[in-house]
Amino acid sequence: MSSKTFFCIDAHTCGNPVRVVAGGGPILEGKNMSEKRQHFLREYDWIRKGLMFEPRGHDMMSGSILYPPHDPENDVAVLFIETSGCLPMCGHGTIGTITIAIEHGLIRPKTPGIVRMEAPAGLVLISYVQESNKVKSVKLVNVPSYLAAEGIEAECPDLGTLKMDVAYGGNFYAIVDVQENFPGLEHYKAEQLIGWARVLRQRINEKYTFVHPNDPTINGLSHIEWTGAVIDPTSSARNAVFYGDKAIDRSPCGTGTSARMAQWAAQGKLKKGDRFIHESIIGSKFIGTVEDYAKVGDHDAIIPGVEGWAKVYGLNTITIDPDDDPYAYGFQVI
């Protein structure tokens, strides 16, 4: 394969990176983004690895590729790529992608201030606030989110048996609440949480199966959501979301926030119209809301809203040349 060039715009959403591929993305087959995601995984996952992994990326890198919408009523279709894979949905990625796309004229919404975005997980409705040429905030109304399992158990190195709930917010999350063997994320270093989460995720997936009722291509538990005490007493909750093989989300994680709200709603701790202020490991915040109720298969679900901000900081022209570079497709050091 000859050298391939990608034109990228970099930003961060509340501290976590987003790299939008503005040019050079592959032509994909499929009648929706779920089918195109499968095509990408079959033939083009080298692009994800080359752009997300070292030396062109890093352990926390995530990004997206823009496509024309399949429904003419919508504004854009998005494929999410990151070190952990090609995700069905990414909340912080959506906030960063929309910020980049509006500020750099990559999309022109049919209705100013509103974006209808097709993701592999489904249609996501987005609103944004723009002042002059800057996007100040982005709010996404995410896909229906639900509590998938309660009180599952798995053995965690050093900590022992942990009880967890599993919730879906665009990806499946094991939520580790404060309990006898886990006093809270604030008591541990990030490197400890990462090492434990990698083993914990593997053990959960060996013991349990999670499949979306409406889309069997969305399956498997991909994220561990550690919880703990808030930094700001006005916040509702705090998390540290593990993804990939070595990453802790620097943002509060949009799909993780959606999953956590679905868990709380199922427990009667949140209701329609409530605000849920979610902190990240570094203290950045998303504002979550329960927009409405829904059903996913036999599961009661919520329609979550998640609001945050992003800042654009760079333009990149990146080449992947396997004929010249032995690390063209990237690498990870674990």
- Residues facing 65 on adjacent strands: 21, 79
**Can you tell me whether residue 133 is helix, strand or coil?**
coil
Tell me 121's DSSP state. T
How far, in Å, CA of 194 to CA of 236, rounded? 24
Active-site residue, 86 included: no
Angstrom distances, CA of residue 282 to CA of 14, 91, 237, 269, 297: 9, 17, 13, 25, 36
Nearest Cα to Cα of residue 233 among 195, 295, 279: 279
| Candidates 8, 14, 86, 253; catalytic one | 253
Residues 6+ apart with CB under 8 A from 19: 8, 9, 10, 11, 51, 52, 57, 61, 62, 63, 64, 316
Residues 6+ apart with CB under 8 A from 58: 17
| Candidates 8, 14, 90, 156; catalytic one | 90
Lookup: tokens for 136: 């100040």
Active-site residue, 90 included: yes
Task: Give the helix, strand, coil percentages of the chain, each rounded to 5.
Answer: 20, 45, 35
Catalytic positions, please? 90, 253
